[in-house]
Structure formats: C-alpha cells, structure tokens
Structure 1
Amino acid sequence: MVVSCGLLTENKETVPLKGIEVEVEVKDQVAVVVSTQHYENKEDKAIEAIFVFPLPGDAAVCHFSAKIGQTEIVAEVKEKQQARVEYGDALSSGWQAFLLEESDQSPDIFSLYVGSLPPRESAFIRLEYVTELAVEADRGLRFCLPVVLNPRYLPQGSVGDGVQVTSVPASLVPYSLSFSARISSPRKVLKVDSKCSLEPLQYLNKKKTQAVVKLAAGHKFDRDIELFIYYKNSHQPTAVVEAGKAFATPGTMIGDPVMMLSLYPEFPQEVMSSIATSGEFVFLLDRSGSMDGAPISSARDTLLLLLKSLPVGCYFNVYSFGSSFEPIFKKSRKYNETTMEMAQKKVEEMQADMGGTEILMPLKHIYSQPCIPSQPRQLFVFTDGEVEDIKEVISLVKKNSSSHRCFSFGIGEGASTALITGLAKEGCGHAQFITGADRMQQKVMQSLQFALQPAVKDISVKWDLPKGVSVTPLSPPPTALFKGQRSLIYAQLTGQSSEGTDGCVTVTYTLAGHPFNDKLSFLLQPTEDTGLTVHRLGARTLIRGLETENGEGVKKKVVEVSVQSGVSSSFTSFIAVNKASREAIQRPMLPRRIPRIHVPRRYCCRGGSAGFSVLDIQLDTTGGSRKRKSQSGMDKVKRKHRSRPQSSDTVSLVTVDVPTSAKVKHPDSLLQLVSLQKASGCWELNPALAAALNKTIKELQQPKPPKVNRNVWATVLALVWLQAFRVDAQIEWKLLAQKAVSWLTAQNAPSMTECIMAGNTLLGCSVQKDALGL
C-alpha cells in the first residue's frame, strides 16, 4: 500500500506553497526583514490560497509584491474595505489578485490571499517589514522570526476573523525554509546566539562590525527562530536622523527627516538598592489546556519563588484563569506566614485544567477591586498568549494604567507578541518571552526586581533645536524607565536652519524623590542612508498609538498615515491586481481545508495546539465564469468563521489528586530549599531542611554553636548553601536571600562568624561572611 505523506489537501494533492526564503538585515537595534514565498499551482484549475502567518506584534509591514512569470506587480496600501472589494471584483473579472491584511483582533496575525493562480503557474510573493530588537536582561538584543502560530482561543459569544484549521505534525511539512541575517553596527559584533542550529558566524570586515549568520539545514518548524545579538558597549545612547523620501512633499512625515533616539537610563546604585517593602502584588496565571505539561509545572515553581520573595507587610493575591477564573483570596491579603502557606498549598495543586483562555474577565475583576492606600499595585500575567480579543485586552490595561504596573510573560512557542508586549507597554511594565529550555524563574525574578524598584515619575522630554527647526513627536514620552532597559523615541523634524546643525534632547524624571535627567546631543544632518527604516518604525509607532484612541477622526488619521507612509494598519490592507492576465471563472470556487503544522502537546483544547501556518484552498471545479458583486473571496471566509464552534469544544482534562506532603519534596534542590523558607525570611531546623541539604537532622544539629538559636543556624546554613552551590541561579534567590539577611540582622544574633565557619565545615565549602551580605 502506498502511503501519502506531507501537507496534503483532502484529495491528497500537495499544497501549492513550495518554499519560504527569509533575508534579514540587522541595523544596530532594528531589523529589515524580507520574506519571499514561492507558490506553485500543480492542479489543472485556478485556485485561491489563503496563507495565515504570524509577525512580530510591533512590526511595520512596508512592502508587498507578487511576481508571476516575468510580470511583477507591487501592492498599494488602501482602506481595508475598499481593498477587499477590489480583491473580490478582480477575481470576478478573472484577474490575478493578491491581498495582505492584518487581523482585526490581533496585530501580530496576517492573512495573505493569493487569488486566481492559473493552472501550472508559479507565484513569488515578496513581503517586507521592519521591527525593533528587544533588549534582554544580559544586554543582548533579541530578534525573533515567528514561525509557530497558535490558533487564537475564541471567547464565548464572540465572532472572530481568524481561519479555522486542522493540524499535521511539523515533521511532515513539505515546503522549505531558508534564513540568513546580515548584521551591521557602529559597535563590534561580539557574538550571535540562538536556540536553533546556526552555521558559524562569518565576519565581513576586520573591525567585526559586520557579520552574516545563516540557519543550518534541517529546521523542523517546531520553534520560532530567535537570534540573540551582542555588541560591545551596547548600552550607549544613540541618535539616528534619517532623510525624508526624495521628491516627497516637505512638511509631511515621509518628506521630512525622522529621528530615532535610543536612551539607556542608568540610576545610581544607592537609589536602586532601596528595595520597596510595600505594594499589592497580583499574579494572574493561565491554566488553560494549552498550558499542560512543562509550562504549568514551570509556572508553579515560579509562583513558589515569587511567594517566598515578597516583602513582609505587602499585600498579594493569585488568580487562575481559563474559560472562567478564580482567585485564591476574595481580595488581596496581607503577606504573612499564614497567608503565604495558604497560597503555597493552592499553587502546588494547580493544573492546566480550566479550558480556554479568556483573560478579559479576570482583568476586569482585578481592576474593579479598589487599590490599597500606599500599596502600589503590580500585576504579573503568565500566559501562552492564545487569545483572540487582544486589542480589547490591551485597551483595558491602558485604561487602568494609572493605577498599576503590568509585567507580562509569554510562555512557549507561538505566544502572541502583540498581547505580551502590548500588556507591558500599556501597563508601564516589562515583557519577557520564555521559550525552549529557558528557566522561567530567572526572567520572572528579574521583573520582580523591577517591580520593587522605586517608581519613576514625572517623565518628560524636552527638545533643544536651532531656530527654524521644529519637532513633532511620533511617540509619547516613555511610560516606564528601568535600570538597564532601553527607551526608543521617534520624532519628525520640520524646517531648516542656517544657524547650526546640532540638536539636543533631554529626558527628565524623578526617582525616589531625586531629580534625574538623561541628555543626548545629535547632528541634524542624516548620519547614514537607512532606506526609510526609521520613518516606517516612526509611522508604526504613531499608528499603534492612534489605534488605541477613540473618537471621530481616529480611523481617518490612521488611514492617512498608513497610506502616506506605506505601512500597514488595522484599517488598511495591501492590494495588488494583475489585469494583464485573465483566467475566466464561472462558478464559485469550492473551499478545501488544508491541515496546518502542529507542535504536539500533551493535552489539547479549543485554541490549545500550536503550529506554523494555515492554508485554505478554494478550487474552481467547473471552469466557467462567475459574477461577484457582493460576494468576494473574503465574504466566503467570513461566513465560514461564523459557523465555527465556540468554546464548548473544550476537552475535559483528567486530574490526579497528589497529596500535599508528596509535593513538598521537589526534584530541583534549589526549589526544595526555597519551599521551606518562612514568610519572615528564616528557615527552621528540621528534617525537611536536612533532606534539602542532603544531610540527616543529626548531622545538622551536631555542629551548631551552643549560643546560636536553632532558626538562626538553619538560616545561615541555607544562605551558605545557596552562595556555595547555586550562585549560577543567584537572580532567582537574590530577593529571598536579602529577606533572610534582614531577618538575621534583626535577631542581633551572637557568634555569626563562628556560625558561618561551622556551616562551611559541615557543607564542605568556603563562603565568606561578606558574600552573604552580613
């Protein structure tokens, strides 16, 4: 028996997408991405293919073209409904047409409609976008090419605009992917890391400021392609002034110079060492079916670390959400031994058993709770990001941004960049993505340190420009400034001056009652030819800001900026029509549902699987012509969406009750030790601590100095062990260790030096007293 394999139609015919070629040009802190998709119609009828794929949430799509044979057509940006009508009319007339548009619900999902591709014909679709590189905790810059697309969970009672799909294993995908990146910077390129297999980095000059890296053969489509780029002296403020487009009208954004300022505020250590001892910490954990397995296990461990690291006297609560939501406490409770133990027990029992991913409901409930006086609210959101109402969620966070800060964490491959970065940006917090073998605990604890930093207030931006030159901000002032983090500012420069070529911008703010300012001088003349990259990023920033506003004229302004700059938006689409070739179509093309790539997970519910892309085929089975006055290819897609099942499709998960006593012993020795710490910061001398230190209780009791309290001795042993054996994970236990040191200091215990020496002898190490902060 012959077994068909690969990505196939229901009639066992191959999907027309043959290959994807991606070329990236990294320009210091931003990237230009060019993706070329090769389609081939091997059937004897004209087809319409729909390819749904992810892009970074802050990407600015700025070019779209198609080449059929020797004919190339370049798409124009038009108002979305107008573009859809033109697309449908073109298919009705037998013309080839191509439509690219952003999802109405999620700005990181795009749909490409390849209309009326003739039999035995090939098409090369070229897509170009620009994007900023995110800053990592180790000062590297992160570039991500999303190739995993999770189907967005559709909340009850809503109508989505995504395409419903089925899945096949990633190993069976028949089309190829080639990827290469060229990196250039004023600074030396130190290295490029990735979780994917790369060919060796090749430098292009002696200064090592230019380099090329390629994806090794055999990528399995089971993960996003991430590059982590490290420059020498990367945290230096910079300014890039980019000339406007030649022959464009002066005074317009595309005709004037646009500048990008990159600021890295550095705060004095004496200010940053003052950790906050108050606050309301609210943790919102995704327990949908798609979180099953490693994600929910890692989330439980991370919540344990968070609970142990909170300052004494603060307030806290933990919410779980899926198709519904439930808090541990009816309202935030004061942090003490009793409430911490109650929360710890609940966290240890958490499973991915709550169905879908409806995050809007718990957010509304949290915001409905009154803030606690003198306890700033800090919201931590953990999710794999498979939600459909992203824009509504982000709008809600922005509406409540004055009352809290939001720190967001995207878990696993395919987490929505639009959701995760949007939550942090509008919530004045920080976003982190946790993929592959990343330890969630490290990234989350870094964000907790940000949350405990003194709040930055009264941020303002002041420009000092020569007479005759004015500035129009394209992005609002920074809403959050954290030590080691970057802030990008875009602005349009209008006019000319004969008095000088230098400008200056100053960002002022207050921190812990102290005034600060960061000043950067720059040349008004363009420093390099950047090919309108900065203009497009500035336009995208302006568009995204406008899209979150309400009122008359907002849509008109967005369409105007989008069309003028050639950058996509939620209200516009790219449309290309080739009238040179005609293929008559008499009857409506019949829909064919094509399986998409699937990354297996242990359990799957509505919106719970992961994959790369979607392809739907509509096939003309009769060869006649058809009229489309009110019905286009888009109309057929819309009708299909309305018929798709809602969240009642959720698969029920079977959970097994595990006794709490069995859960206390953790396979990770660090977390096992952490789980035993008391809310006050101390450890108790008992058999559980002995087991965590791989000793017997007798071995722990025997060397204790006579005058030393049992809990003081236990706490010193725990600190010595952490410093000696898990210094590699110091970012994870740093805060709880500080709390332990504070507790020890308050005890005014005698014989501390003798205690530490005895602990070193017992554990077989040589930790110095200063290293413990005592």
Structure 2
Amino acid sequence: MTVPITHLRPEECRPAQDAGLGALETERGNLPLESVDVTARVTGLVAGVEVTQAFRNPFDVSLEATYVFPLPPRAAVTAFRMEAGDRVIEGLLKERAQARADYDRALTEGRRAAIAEEDRPDVFTIRVGNLSPAERVTVRLTLSQPLPYEDGAAEFRFPLVVAPRYVPGVPLDGPPAGSGVIPDTDAAPDASRISPPVLLPGFPNPVRLSLTATVDSAGLGLREIRSSLHEVVREGDTISLRPGERLDRDFILRLAFDSSASLALTPDDGDPGEGTFTLTVVPPADAAAAGRPRDVVLLLDRSGSMMGWKMVAARRAAARIVDTLTTRDRFAVLAFDSVVERAFPGGLVDGSDRNRYRAVEHLARLEARGGTEMLSPIEEALGLLSAAAGERAGEPAGERDRVLVLVTDGQVGNEDQILERAAGRLGEVRVHTVGIDRAVNAGFLGRLALLGTGRCELVESEDRLDEAMEHIHRRIGAPLVTDITVRPEPLSPGGFDLVPGTVTDIGSLFPGVPLTVSGRYRGRPSGAMAVRGLTADGEPWERRVTGHHADSPAARAVWARAHLRELEDRYAAGDHSLEDRIVATSLRFGVLCRFTAFVAVDSRVTADGRPEHHVIQPVEPPSGWEMPMGAPMALGAVRSMAASAPMTGPMTAPMVAEAPITFAPPPPAGSGRRPSRGSSRGSSRGSSRGSSRGSSVAPVHEAPHSPETDLDADLDTDLNAVRPLLAEELARLRAVETTLPERELRRYLADLGSRLRVIAHLADDHAELSALAEELESAERPGARPSDLLRPGDLLKRAIDVLSALTSAPGHRAFWKRS
C-alpha cells in the first residue's frame, strides 16, 4: 500500500500563540493557574502575608490541578481557604496522612476539595480537585514571617519560583510520590513532588502576578525602602510590582530601620496566663571595632560517610561560619567528596550579604555522597589563600588573617600523604578543624590543627554542635558577646517565667546584628528579662530589657514555626521518636509542617467520581538560567533521561542548579571506606591496642623524627612519640610569651589546650597532659567568672613548666612493646 505525503504550506501549520509543548489548546487557554496575588503587611520586623492562587479548568472534563510553589523558609502558614462561586470552605489542619485520606475520599465521592502540603521548608504543593469545566476556584494561604535585620536594614524576601534541583541516586520502582518530571530515587524518595515541569524559554506569560507590600515601621524609624530584582511603584507606604512581571525570581525589599532593644509579651487568646515572648537585643553601642579582615576558605566534607545526622550538623556548622563573616572579609566555600564543588567560580569573593546568602543556600542543598578525596580540596584551599594574600588594591600584604576551616568526620586512610603534601604550607595559615562523628578520626584532625596552630573541635552529637561553634566563632566571626543566656528577673506577683524547652536557638551577638530570641512564657505579661553573656575579652556582659504587653498575633506563629523547624532538624538527624511531638505541636499552634497538611472539603457533590484529567502547572525558568531549547527537555521527557544510568557529569537545565554540579556515584554497598580497626600496621609495629577508642588508624614511621614526621603517630603512640610535638608547642609558647596582649593570650592558651587534649589522647590519655589541657581550655570557659580563672600569665607559666618537664622526661617503653 502506498500512502502519499502531502506537504503543508507554512501558513497551514503555524503554532498557536498560546500553545505549549504537547498542550491541549482551547479557547480558554491550556494551563489551570490563572493568577497569583501576594498581599503583605510589614509591621516592624514581622510580615503578615496572604497568598491567593486562582485556578480555572480550561478543559471539557473535570480537572485536578497541582501547583508546586515556594514560600519563605521561615514563614508560618496558619490558614487555608478554598472559594468556589458562593462556596467558602475553611481548611482544617490535620495529620498529613489523615488529610490526604480526607482529600482522596472527597474526590472519589465527586466533591470539590483542596489540600496544601509542605515538601521542603521552602517548597509547598497545592492540589485542587474536581473542578468542573470552565469553573474557577480560588485558594488562599495566610502566613507570617520574620524579617532578618543586619547593619541597619531589614529584608522582606518572597520567593516566586521553585528552581529545578539536581537529584542524585537510583530511581525507585513503584508509583511516583508526586507528579513532577524527575523520578523518585533512593537519595530523594519524594523527588517527583519537588520537580514541576519548566516552561520553554519565550513561552507567553501564563500567570498574572500581583504583589503589594504595605510597610508600617511600628516606631522603628523607617529611613529608606529599596527594591531588588523587580521594578516597583510606590504610593505612600505601599509598594507594588509593575504589571507584566513573571514568577521567575524572588521579590526583595530592603527596609532601613533604626533598631532598638525590646521585649514583647503577647498573651494567648483565651488564656492570658500563657503567651509568647519576642526579645530583641541590640549590640553594645560602645563595641570595639572588629579585628583584622580575614580571608577564609571553608572546606565541607559531603562524602558518603557523612550521611545522616552528621551531614545535617555539618551543614549547620558551615552555614553558621559563613554567617559570622562581614563585608570586610573574603571567603570561598568548597564541598568535596570524589570531586570538589565550589559555591562560587574563581577565587575568593567579598563577604557581602548577597554572597553569604548564596553560600548558605548552596550549603543547604548539599547531601552526602561518594568517597573522601581530601588532599585535592586542601591543596586548592591553600592555593586560594596563597594567591589572595595581599592582592587587594591598596592593602599591604600580610594585613589579612588567612583561615582554613575543615568540617569533616576525618575518615580517610591517606593521612600520611595529606600531611606530607600539605604540612609545609599549613604553617602559613590558621587551620581550625571541626570533627563531626561518634567515632571521629581525632588523631588526624588534631594533627592538622597542630600544624596550623588552630583549634580542634570534636562534635559527637548535634547537642554539642552549638558549644563547639561558639569556640570557632571566637576565632573567625569576632562576635561581641557569646555564651548568651536569657532569664526572667526573679518572679514577683506581676512577673512571668519561661516554659522549659521552648526558647529558640540564641547564638551570639555580632556587630550590626540585633539578636532575636523567642519562646513561651507563663504568668502575667509584665516584668523584665536579664540577658547575660561574655564579651570578646572574657568579661561578663549583662543587659536588662523591660517587657511590655503586645498585641501581635504573628508572634505565636513565628515562634511555633521556628520551634517546629528545630524539631524537624532533629528528626532528620535520626531522632524519629519526635514525630508525634511535631504533629502535636503543629496542631496545637495551627502552623503547617512536614507532618501535617491543610485540607478543605466541600460538602456539595459536583462531579461523577474522581477527576477525569490531571495537570501539574509548569513553572517559569528561573531568571538568569540558561535553559535548553530542545522541547523534550522542557516539559517532561526529563523523567526518562533521569531514570537512565547513574549520572557522572554536570546536568543541564532544567535540573541544574545555578552553578554546575558534578556528581560521582557513591561506592557500592559493602565496599567500605573506613580502615579496619584491626588492620595490619607497619612492619615495625606490633598489634594494635584494639578498638576501644573507636578511631581509624594509620601507618606510623619509626625514624627519622621531626615535628612533621612525628605527626604520623596515631592513637597507639605514647608520650615518647609525641614528645617532639610537645617540644614544638613549648617553642611556640616561649615565642609568644611577651608579645600577646591579655585577650589574645587567653585565646591562644585555650586553643593550645584543645591541641594538648588531642596529644594527650594520642599518648594513651596521659594524666598530667590531660589536666594541663583542662586548665588551659578554662581560659575561655563559658559562664566562668574571671575571678574563678587563673590569670593568663599564671596559666602561661604553668604550661611552660609542665611542657618543659614532659619534653625532658626519661623515655618509657612504647605501649605495644610492654610485656
């Protein structure tokens, strides 16, 4: 049979103006989301926001529409409503599985319903089901969000698009969890819920966007309003987007306020005996200027052994380090496994708000994977610091502190190679190591800190992380006040007390950054709060803030959201016993979280059973991204590509992040990364001491000895082998004995204590050395009064005496040669 082919003239096959790839064209268009309206009211440092999304069914059959969209990560969603014609249905907050069951049952029975769920702190999904042909349905979300404040300005940031995310791992069998274009994988079991299809470049604007923000300074003294990324129109105190803007980038307003200390006490409705407090502490007005500017390179281990709570803790630690930087500093962030991934191309970047924000966003996306190739990133970091030394115009060489911070579990088998290659250059920079693990490679991380005369902090749990980061902050971020505690003044008949376990993370007080703390209280909304801490000189610092009765409905929701985030982080770190507590907290305070959902179900039947058509709303390509022109990539064929063999090279949009990401597959299960604790050692050694310390071991060389080669000693080494290290520390002590002011001397002695603790550990927990380390670390012990501490001069003399005695002591037989 012969079938003739008739050629069409161009005018016969011209594409319709509003048609998309594979879309059904109708007179009413082809996408269900008609408009997004955002109305915000900024009052002081809190914004109340209502988001309205209008859906329309453009098809001739019943429809279920799905929209994946972003919200601010710190926002508290407190209400949900569905409106259809004359029907208004208030959403109910329920446990997530129950809400889904109610939604599915309603669709099966032919009733209209909507559900709102949180999939990530900043990614949410709304489904609206059983829309009749040509019907319009509106859903409204009510939320409150705190505004970050720094250097005299607050920032209102509202995201408008979910950017494509790279998803590693092996695709899972079975039905997908969502309707997105990337399959679920073992690394991201809900990838299909956070990967909406992306519109082709040049697609006509499919959604009408309206955004207005009204600003009330609430007595803070508003000086200026600036918009970033969008063209706006200002009428009085109201700022609006110009018509025609697309949902392809964040909306940002920066508000110049004069901040002041305050304590707002907001009682609960119906229960005046309990409420929420919001404390704002302003940095001391007479604070000394920050220290010298810094060049900082942050190395973050994201290898497979960091999976679970360690990765959560490592990301938190790295983000807090980035937050301590100022505009005077320069920095780089390198994440490594089998490859090195950079937050910024090129060298060091200025510590501007934008760069720090991008760095923290980059860190938040990191997940554990691959092997631990540590030598290359350490060499790259040292190269960046060396190349950047004194290169800033008009700045003398050596006027900047050079700092390397390594966050890792240290589980590598090539310690000798790393130390051999890097030891000669580590003396040029200050090296701080943060070891995160319950079986951390303390010996290796201690050696790196010894060579870089820095601090070694070992973190065995997330509870220990905050204390460890306070120590690192003193070295990097130059905080004005650390180790802050808050406590109501002694209760009087009109006072209040705090509800245990409800106070949010306090942190430290930095120049130009007011500290905000919130929590729950019991009692009357009157009284005062005492805020105590330690200054950079180790002196006690205290402020008293008088409370005032406040009518701030957002305060309770903002606190609850922050509290839920802390609980969810602990859940993600492995404490799954918290699920019931998270659900109960979410339901009690009416704030959406990962374990709950809002569901609105109409009592009226509008269809014959479940919807006949399903559409997931495509999102805009993010502004500034280079999206592919090939049609199959844009709207859904990504699924088949992502389901292919493991990916080993950078992805192209729409799954690529802002900076190209290279991925090396993790080692096969069972291949192992950690050296066996009972493994064979060098031929000159006997059997190991055993595994009681839970640490990796490395080859140890007998001779020749020098401070560098002796660093190869591991946990089996006694005092004889670490004596050269003690001699090196003694020489450094004598060199700084008369050159450091008291404040710097306290820091140096506390750092020395952390290094001596590692050496004592290497020397079979040498009692005298351990005692000295304890004394030296007390030079900056949180909460200690100066009168409780030895004077720095006395500590210095004691350290010199002990180290002199230990370095000249007669040798003992090595542990492994004892009979």
Partner of 2:198: 167
Q: 1:376-416 CA distances to partner (integer Å, 9 max, x unpaired)?
A: 4799xxxxxxxxxxxxxx999777454447xxxxxxxxxxx
The answer to whether the 8 A contact 2:46-2:146 is kept is yes
Q: 1:104-141 CA distances to partner (integer Å, 9 max, x unpaired)?
A: xx2111010111111121111101111111124x4211
Counterpart CA distance in 2 for 1:338 and 1:66 is: 54
Q: 1:87 Cα shift?
A: 1.1
State the SS of the aligned residue for 2:566. Answer: helix
- The within-5 A match list for 1:325-724 is 329=375, 340-341=386-387, 367=436, 370=445, 372=449, 375-376=454-455, 400-404=465-469, 451-453=476-478, 456-464=481-489, 465-467=491-493, 469-472=496-499, 474-496=502-524, 501-523=526-548, 526-527=549-550, 529-530=551-552, 532-550=553-571, 551=575, 554-585=578-609, 589=612, 591-592=614-615, 595-599=618-622, 645=643, 648=646
The answer to whether the 8 A contact 2:486-2:529 is kept is no
The answer to whether the 8 A contact 1:160-1:641 is kept is no
Counterpart CA distance in 2 for 1:212 and 1:81 is: 40
Counterpart CA distance in 1 for 2:57 and 2:499 is: 48
Structure 1 170/647 Cα, relative in aligned 2: closer, same or farther at 3 Å? farther
Structure 1 275/553 Cα, relative in aligned 2: closer, same or farther at 3 Å? same
Q: Which moved more, 1:50-59 or 1:365-374?
A: 365-374
Q: Which amino acid aligns with 2:209?
A: L
Counterpart CA distance in 1 for 2:466 and 2:43 is: 33
Partner of 1:154: 167
Structure 1 329/378 Cα, relative in aligned 2: closer, same or farther at 3 Å? farther
10, 16, 24: which one pairs with 1:4?
16
Structure 1 542/74 Cα, relative in aligned 2: closer, same or farther at 3 Å? same
Partner of 2:215: 183
Counterpart CA distance in 2 for 1:85 and 1:463 is: 45
Q: 1:301 Cα shift?
A: 4.0
| Structure 2 length-normalised TM | 0.55
Q: Which amino acid aligns with 1:519?
A: R
Q: 1:90 Cα shift?
A: 1.1
Could you tell me the percent identity over the aligned residues? Answer: 21
Q: 1:531-590 CA distances to partner (integer Å, 9 max, x unpaired)?
A: x2101111112212222335575222221121121101111111111112331126x745
Q: 1:410-456 CA distances to partner (integer Å, 9 max, x unpaired)?
A: xxxxxxxxxxxxxxxxx997xxxxxxxxxxxxxxxxxxx99341585
27, 33, 49: which one pairs with 2:43?
27
Structure 1 363/589 Cα, relative in aligned 2: closer, same or farther at 3 Å? farther
Q: 1:235 Cα shift?
A: 2.6
Counterpart CA distance in 2 for 1:116 and 1:179 is: 28
Q: Which amino acid aligns with 2:517?
A: I
Partner of 1:258: 276
The answer to whether the 8 A contact 1:280-1:375 is kept is no
Partner of 2:241: 215
Partner of 1:115: 129
Structure 1 327/571 Cα, relative in aligned 2: closer, same or farther at 3 Å? same
Counterpart CA distance in 2 for 1:60 and 1:642 is: 36
Q: 1:42 Cα shift?
A: 2.2
State the SS of the aligned residue for 1:549. Answer: helix
Partner of 1:719: none
Structure 1 39/196 Cα, relative in aligned 2: closer, same or farther at 3 Å? same
Counterpart CA distance in 2 for 1:610 and 1:302 is: 34
Q: What's the Cα RMSD here?
A: 4.6
Counterpart CA distance in 2 for 1:589 and 1:69 is: 21
Counterpart CA distance in 2 for 1:363 and 1:142 is: 38
Structure 1 378/215 Cα, relative in aligned 2: closer, same or farther at 3 Å? farther
Q: 1:458-514 CA distances to partner (integer Å, 9 max, x unpaired)?
A: 3211211433632226333512321111221113232349xxx43233233342322
- The within-5 A match list for 1:263-302 is 263-266=281-284, 268-270=286-288, 272-275=289-292, 281-282=298-299, 283-285=332-334, 299-302=345-348
Counterpart CA distance in 2 for 1:395 and 1:107 is: 26
The answer to whether the 8 A contact 1:54-1:108 is kept is yes
The answer to whether the 8 A contact 1:40-1:120 is kept is yes
Counterpart CA distance in 2 for 1:399 and 1:646 is: 41
94, 98, 101: which one pairs with 1:82?
98
Counterpart CA distance in 1 for 2:482 and 2:155 is: 28
Q: 1:183 Cα shift?
A: 0.9
State the SS of the aligned residue for 2:567. Answer: helix
Partner of 1:766: none
Q: 1:17 Cα shift?
A: 0.9
Q: Which amino acid aligns with 2:333?
A: L
Partner of 1:40: 56
| Structure 1 length-normalised TM | 0.58
Q: Which amino acid aligns with 2:510?
A: F
Q: Which amino acid aligns with 2:582?
A: V
Structure 1 144/197 Cα, relative in aligned 2: closer, same or farther at 3 Å? same
Q: Which amino acid aligns with 2:240?
A: K
Partner of 2:86: 70
The answer to whether the 8 A contact 2:66-2:125 is kept is yes
Q: 1:593 Cα shift?
A: 5.6
The answer to whether the 8 A contact 2:168-2:647 is kept is no
Counterpart CA distance in 1 for 2:105 and 2:472 is: 45
Counterpart CA distance in 2 for 1:327 and 1:339 is: 20
Q: 1:648 Cα shift?
A: 3.5
Q: 1:363 Cα shift?
A: 10
Counterpart CA distance in 2 for 1:328 and 1:37 is: 48
State the SS of the aligned residue for 1:112. Answer: strand
Q: Which amino acid aligns with 1:549?
A: R
State the SS of the aligned residue for 2:134. Answer: coil
State the SS of the aligned residue for 2:121. Answer: coil
Q: Which amino acid aligns with 1:224?
A: D
Structure possessing the higher relative contact order (Cα contacts under 8 Å, 6 or more residues apart): 1
State the SS of the aligned residue for 2:579. Answer: helix
Partner of 1:746: none
Counterpart CA distance in 2 for 1:166 and 1:360 is: 36
251, 264, 272: which one pairs with 1:240?
264
Structure 1 650/179 Cα, relative in aligned 2: closer, same or farther at 3 Å? farther
Q: 1:79 Cα shift?
A: 0.6
Counterpart CA distance in 2 for 1:74 and 1:642 is: 39
The answer to whether the 8 A contact 2:68-2:196 is kept is no
Gaps of at least 5 residues in structure 1 are 204-210, 307-319, 346-358, 380-393, 406-426, 430-448, 617-639, 655-741, 743-774
103, 117, 122: which one pairs with 1:101?
117
Q: 1:595 Cα shift?
A: 3.7
The answer to whether the 8 A contact 1:10-1:592 is kept is no
Q: Which amino acid aligns with 1:515?
A: P
Counterpart CA distance in 2 for 1:488 and 1:34 is: 24
Structure 1 57/71 Cα, relative in aligned 2: closer, same or farther at 3 Å? same
The answer to whether the 8 A contact 1:77-1:568 is kept is yes
Partner of 2:676: none
Partner of 1:390: none
